[in-house]
Amino acid sequence: MTSEGHFMQSSLRNVLPTLLALLLGYGLMQMGNTLQGTLLSIRGSIESFSPTEVGSVGAAFWAGIVLGSLWAGTVIARVGHTRTFAALAAVAASTALFHLLAIHPVVWIAARALTGFCFAGLFMVVESWLNSAATGETRGQILSLYGMTGLIAGIGGQLLLPAGDPAGFRLFCVVSMIISLALVPIALSRATAPAHATGEAGINLPRLYGQSPFGLIAAFLCGVTSASFFALGPLFAHEAGLDTGGIAVFMACGTLGGFAMTWPLGWLSDRMDRRLVIIAAAGAAAAILLALLTFVPDKPPAWVLYLCVAIFGGSVIPTYSIVTAHVNDMVEPGEFVAASGGLLIVLGAGSTAGPIVSGVAMSLFGPRGLAYATILAQVLIAAWGVYRIRQRAAPPEAQKEAFTPEPAVPVGTELVPSS
């Protein structure tokens, strides 16, 4: 092994205690959050919420994410990482139980928005802490582990759904317990929190659009697609005839497909115009949904749905990571944090609009409405990509940043010291 390899392993070992505690806490948060999202969708259907109302509950989480990403940095700067994490985790765990106390769409929308606000702050704590602990030699490895942890935890959260009856109270208690347990590894860790942090990232959306018109529009449409799937996918699976266990496997297969394809698509995007990879992935997602609508009966065998959603997830879940990499190729080196924050706002806007639009489509057209809305979003990504390729050439290979997978729910940016 080269001396450089020994140095990188040594650097990684030095931050391993911090890394393990943060990733364990982050994984538990993601597990609880994905279980809660699926549970609310199914329980909303049981309580006779309309698809538009169910979609609005899912959209509220992302509205909270955007607000939390804009304001949580100030809280972290004032009271520190550990106290912020403890306070927000306590509120998020309590809010999970509040859904049982007042079963009404408006109350659930408000509660889910509060959950999103808390989770934005929680993830910002973890991401900024990880970035502070990382070095230039280990940051790529650490952020890759972070992204993969989010995807694996998301799969685990989906598979917990059969542990209780969605019409009862046990699963809400499980969500609250998991989020509360996320406090333990970080509270007991000996790792020292970053001493200085602030949330000011200098976000400038008009400038970012000028640097990467394709990236901003694609990020918005990625949000539309992903949030629609996670908010309304359980309702679609329920209408397709799957039971609680089947819905859990259905949602897990979508995330598993994304997990399996993240590295292959990322590797490919490092070796060609990233926009071509995104266009191909969007085309594949639209094609599999069209095939599902055209050739598959309304009540298909479960394995057909699992296969289709795995291909769909493998096409759409990795796309945001590649969009992020493409935008980073286009901005100046000192603007990575601002670009990440800007993309997050745009992603959050798309994720807020997506479940509402898809919910309305499901109210009008039934379960097929979700597929119609998603196909439209993917076709728009592909069409916009083809247009932009004709307007601007890809950046030279020497300018491209190495691909790093983003977590399934990317919500935070690195907090940088104030000048």
Q: Residue range 197-206: average pLDDT? A: 60
* Bigger pLDDT: 181 vs 124: 181
Q: Residue range 114-137: average pLDDT? A: 79
- Rounded Cα gap, residues 51 and 42, in angstroms: 11
pLDDT at 207 over 70: yes
- Rounded Cα gap, residues 312 and 40, in angstroms: 22
* pLDDT tens-place string over residues 338-353: 777 788 889 989 999 9
Residues ≥6 apart with Cβ < 8 Å to 101 = none
pLDDT at 3 over 50: no
Q: What radius of gyration, in Å, describes the C-alpha atoms of the chain?
A: 20
pLDDT at 416 over 60: no
Q: Residue range 195-202: average pLDDT? A: 50
* pLDDT tens-place string over residues 237-286: 998 889 999 999 999 999 999 989 988 888 888 888 889 999 999 999 99
- Rounded Cα gap, residues 69 and 117, in angstroms: 8
Per-residue DSSP letters for 122-162? HHHHHHHHHHHH--TTTHHHHHHHHHHHHHHHHHHHHHTGG
pTM of the complete model: 0.83
Q: Residue range 397-402: average pLDDT? A: 58
Instruction: Band the pLDDT of 139: cuts 50, 70, 90.
Output: low
Neighbouring CB atoms inside 10 A of 46's CB total 12
pLDDT at 37 over 60: yes
Q: Residue range 31-59: average pLDDT? A: 94
pLDDT at 5 over 50: no
pLDDT at 224 over 80: yes
Instruction: Band the pLDDT of 82: cuts 50, 70, 90.
Output: confident
Note the pLDDT of residue 345: 85
pLDDT at 13 over 70: no
* Bigger pLDDT: 19 vs 11: 19
Note the pLDDT of residue 15: 63
pLDDT at 102 over 60: yes
Residues ≥6 apart with Cβ < 8 Å to 297 = none
Neighbouring CB atoms inside 10 A of 50's CB total 15
Side chain identity at residue 194, one-letter code: P
Note the pLDDT of residue 112: 96
- Rounded Cα gap, residues 107 and 305, in angstroms: 33
Residues ≥6 apart with Cβ < 8 Å to 54 = 40, 41, 44, 45, 231, 232, 235, 355, 359
Phi, psi of 400 (to 5 degrees): -75, 140
Residues ≥6 apart with Cβ < 8 Å to 96 = 32, 36, 115, 172, 175, 176, 179
Would you give the DSSP letter of residue 417? -
- Chain-wide mean pLDDT for the chain? 85
Instruction: Band the pLDDT of 18: cuts 50, 70, 90.
Output: low
Angle ∠(344,346,348) on CA atoms, nearest 5:
65
CB distance 414 to 339 below 8 Å: no
Question: Which two three-digit tokens encode residue 309?
Answer: 């959603």
Closest CA to 228 of 63, 353, 376: 353
pLDDT at 417 over 90: no
The gap from C-alpha 17 to its chain's centroid, in whole angstroms, comes to: 25
Would you give the DSSP letter of residue 361? H
Residues ≥6 apart with Cβ < 8 Å to 243 = none
Which of 14-23, 219-228, 392-401 ranks highest by mean pLDDT? 219-228
